[in-house]
């Protein structure tokens, strides 16, 4: 019996440990985190907890690799070389009445007459009247008896009346005490009401009057502000960020035309299409960079729909007091515009990022092309250099085998939460990288880089802080790992030209 009990405890411990090992990976759910019951097929069971990928599980869970990816546009340069000397830019009381007892009794006081005859006269008279008196007495005796009986009845009735009177007097006494008690309570309540009316109400009214006075003053101020605003809006508003006169096809063209300041410009890549605003970085790494993505303070929500990413969103640039927009805002240029710019010729892509200690790294892809919407804006990159770590081509270096392959971004299609194009169970609405990881991106299954993820202040965050328990921050795994969200990251493109 003891051996059986020991074996049972051992089996329970092993089962608990096995189930605990699988709690690291959650299946998708909109509100709750449901632990997956299947094991991963990672080649290294001791791999670190990197959540950029979604490990393969049993059943119908699948991963579909990209069979063919068009290479990025390469070949010759779009411009001749130019000089390399450029300056590097800097990145609100009623008194109680006593009622006297009513009623009272009056008592009758009769007098008895006195007969004063002489004794002899009395004897003579008595003897004369004896016989007649005796006869009268005999006649009166029945009447006396009857009177006696009537007297007894009257006596009993009088006793009963006396008892009833006593009981009524007792009841009257009790009622009097109740009346007195009720009168005392009424007096206490009257005193309370009088005090409230005389003291509390006036005080409350004074307070409310003060509140009303303050509200009246605020209303007067608002009315004055509205009036002033109306006066100021009589004339057309003047922009604080005038667009520079110099324009071009893109930022490199603007640089060569004399636009050497980093600020907002108008560009027109297609002469048949309307121009639009962009931010040009004309100081970093020899200038000519067109900012296509920027994250720096979390002021813009990147959890957007497909159409938002296609058109672009956010704030192109901000004025910091110099009269022109020399500081980039948070924005995504738009997939249609990015695709058009990269297909004009060989294009390079520069990532620049910063952590919450101020440390900075960069990654440069010498070749970068974004396909058209008919290909779901597929990503093609090549020729990496830099110190950030090659996430787009190599995937997450802390993973191994197929788990690392699933985090590569080269060849991935663009996905948003309402347009699922990732390689994690295609067509399954419960398994969508963009929905779990906070933004639109070239998700595989799912990522090693997540520049458009959720903005976490301070850097480090946890599964409990994440909406779906996944690493949905601004992640660059090959620099800071899965559970560190960067303070700033930007993506810049520039035409490739022969020499620097």
Q: What is the mean pLDDT of the chain?
A: 79
Which whole number is the average pLDDT over 3-25? 41
Question: Which H or E element spans position 69?
Answer: none
Contact indicator for 275, 290 with CB cutoff of 8 Å: no
> How far apart (Å, rounded) are the C-alpha atoms in residues 343 and 337?
10
| Helix (DSSP H) and strand (DSSP E) numbers for the chain | 10, 15
pLDDT greater than 80 at residue 148? no
Higher pLDDT, 25 or 313: 313
- What DSSP designation does 401 have? T
In percent, how much of the chain has pLDDT > 70? 77
CATH of domain 251-495: 3.90.215.10
> How far apart (Å, rounded) are the C-alpha atoms in residues 241 and 403?
48
> How far apart (Å, rounded) are the C-alpha atoms in residues 343 and 380?
11
Range of lowest pLDDT (133-147, 255-269, 423-437): 133-147
Res. 62 pLDDT band, cuts 50 70 90 = confident
pLDDT greater than 90 at residue 292? yes
Range of lowest pLDDT (213-217, 264-268, 415-419): 213-217
Backbone angles phi, psi at 317, to 5 degrees: -160, 160
Res. 108 pLDDT band, cuts 50 70 90 = very low
Range of lowest pLDDT (5-19, 443-457, 461-475): 5-19
Tokens of 321: 């007091």
C-beta neighbour count of 158 within 10 angstroms: 11
Res. 233 pLDDT band, cuts 50 70 90 = low
pLDDT greater than 90 at residue 409? yes
Res. 436 pLDDT band, cuts 50 70 90 = very high
Higher pLDDT, 33 or 352: 352
Res. 313 pLDDT band, cuts 50 70 90 = very high
Please tell me the pTM assigned to this model.
Answer: 0.61
Q: So what's the pLDDT on residue 198?
A: 80
* 3-state class (DSSP) for residue 489: strand
Write down the residue that tokens 């108008």 correspond to: 266
Tell me whether residue 134 is exposed, middle or buried, using C-beta atoms within 10 angstroms of its C-beta: 0 to 12, 13 to 18, 19 or more.
Answer: exposed
Query: What digits encode the pLDDT tens for the residues 375-384?
Result: 999 999 999 9
In percent, how much of the chain has pLDDT > 90? 44
């Amino acid at each position: 019996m003891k051996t059986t009990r020991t074996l049972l405890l051992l089996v329970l411990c092993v089962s608990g440990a096995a189930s605990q090992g699988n709690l690291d990976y959650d299946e998708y759910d909109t509100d709750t985190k449901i632990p997956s019951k299947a094991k991963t097929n990672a080649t290294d069971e001791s791999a670190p907890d990197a959540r950029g990928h979604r490990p393969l599980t049993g059943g119908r869970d699948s991963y579909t690799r990209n069979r063919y990816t068009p290479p990025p546009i390469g070949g010759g340069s779009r411009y001749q070389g130019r000089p390399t000397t450029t300056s590097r830019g800097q990145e609100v009381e009623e008194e109680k009445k006593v009622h006297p007892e009513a009623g009272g009794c009056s008592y009758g006081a009769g007098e008895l007459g006195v007969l004063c005859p002489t004794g002899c006269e009395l004897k003579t008279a008595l003897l004369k009247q004896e016989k007649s008196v005796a006869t009268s007495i005999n006649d009166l005796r029945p009447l006396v008896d009857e009177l006696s009986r009537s007297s007894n009845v009257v006596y009993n009735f009088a006793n009963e009346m006396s008892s009833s009177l006593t009981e009524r007097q007792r009841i009257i006494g009790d009622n009097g005490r109740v009346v007195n008690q009720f009168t005392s309570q009424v007096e206490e309540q009257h005193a309370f009401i009088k005090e409230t009316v005389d003291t509390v109400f006036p005080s409350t009214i004074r307070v409310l009057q003060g509140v009303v006075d303050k509200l009246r003053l605020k209303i007067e101020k608002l009315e004055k502000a509205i009036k002033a605003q109306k006066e100021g809006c009589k004339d057309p508003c003047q922009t604080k960020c005038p667009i520079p006169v110099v324009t071009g096809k893109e930022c490199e063209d603007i640089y060569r035309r004399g636009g050497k300041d980093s600020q907002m410009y108008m560009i027109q890549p297609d002469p048949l299409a309307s121009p639009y605003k962009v931010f040009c970085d004309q100081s970093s790494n020899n200038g000519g960079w067109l900012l296509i993505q920027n994250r720096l303070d979390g002021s813009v929500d990147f959890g957007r729909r497909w159409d938002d990413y296609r058109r672009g969103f956010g704030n192109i640039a901000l004025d910091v007091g110099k009269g022109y927009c020399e500081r980039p805002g948070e924005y995504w240029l738009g997939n249609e515009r990015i695709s058009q710019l990269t297909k004009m010729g060989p294009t390079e892509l520069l990532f620049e990022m910063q952590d919450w200690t101020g440390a900075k790294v960069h990654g440069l892809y010498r070749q970068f092309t974004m396909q058209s919407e008919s290909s779901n804006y597929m990503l093609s990159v090549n020729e990496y250099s830099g110190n950030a770590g090659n996430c787009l081509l190599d995937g997450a270096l802390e993973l191994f085998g197929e788990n690392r392959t699933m985090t590569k971004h080269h060849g991935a299609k663009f996905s948003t939460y309402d347009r699922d194009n990732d390689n994690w169970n295609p067509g399954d609405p419960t398994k969508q990288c963009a929905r779990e990881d906070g933004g639109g991106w070239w998700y595989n299954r799912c990522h090693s880089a997540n520049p458009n993820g959720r903005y976490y202040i301070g850097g480090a965050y946890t599964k409990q802080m994440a909406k779906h328990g996944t690493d949905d921050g601004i992640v660059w795994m090959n620099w800071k790992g899965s559970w560190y969200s960067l303070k700033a990251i930007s993506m810049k493109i520039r035409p490739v030209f022969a020499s620097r």
